[in-house]
Structure 1
């Protein structure tokens, strides 16, 4: 009987965990999202993985604020989840006229590296669109 209970606890420990925060469509929103993600994942994932997840979140929210429209209410939705073997981060906004793409920029360019950074730190990233707007997502190993 004890073994059965132990197995159930192991399954609960590896169950999917999901967090979501709504932040202002403003540079302050990126800071709030970074802090919430860091607070929720500290102790659950290795420190280096957490640092990369914070960087990815900052880049995705920053891109949303700079290039896309907000969701109704002037906000951006940021969600992240732990799944077996990884982390997924999703930033949903009102969408933009053009689809997010990795840009080629010169070494002297002051910006334009956000999605290149995201691509370098993740296994995969992409864009989903629905009736409300667009979601840019990124997956990384835990």
Structure 2
């Protein structure tokens, strides 16, 4: 599905990974390998923020969707004028979608609060039973 946002951005790369915990690390490495040095500075705050968000999205995908029960997930990176976008697509969660919760006292559930604090904007879109969660980050010209 092509959204309004996707038409304004160009696809940099997509990686498909098995829905296992060790894939979260590979998703972060993919992000760094794809974006450095042409789109972000190595060791910079933007790169760290994006890696944390991709880590959260991939971890949630594995914990809460069919991707983590023998499936796979996809990480896509996009770039546009002054914006970078990271997306993680799962294999479905029986119609459940990501929900931002006020979980200040809970042991879990704070991840999307962190995403909301780090990203310029974030959201999700349904594709049948599947969900793509995305986050955008302001990025200056670099490289």
* TM-score (ref. length: structure 1): 0.80
Distance in 2, matches of 1:95 and 1:124, equals: 23
Change (3 A) 1:104 1:132: closer
Alignment of 1:1-142 (within 5 A): 16-43=10-37, 44-46=39-41, 47-70=44-67, 74-97=71-94, 98-107=96-105, 109-131=106-128, 133-142=130-139
Task: Report the CA distance between 1:116 and its aligned residue.
Answer: 0.7
CA RMSD of aligned residues (A): 2.1
Structure 1: where are the runs of 5+ without partners?
A: 1-14
Q: Which has the larger radius of gyration?
A: 1
Higher helix share: 1
Moved over 2 A (4+): none
Higher relative contact order (CA 8 A, sep 6+): 2
Distance in 2, matches of 1:132 and 1:75, equals: 14
Aligned length: 127
Structure 2: where are the runs of 5+ without partners?
A: 1-8
Task: Report the CA distance between 1:37 and its aligned residue.
Answer: 0.7
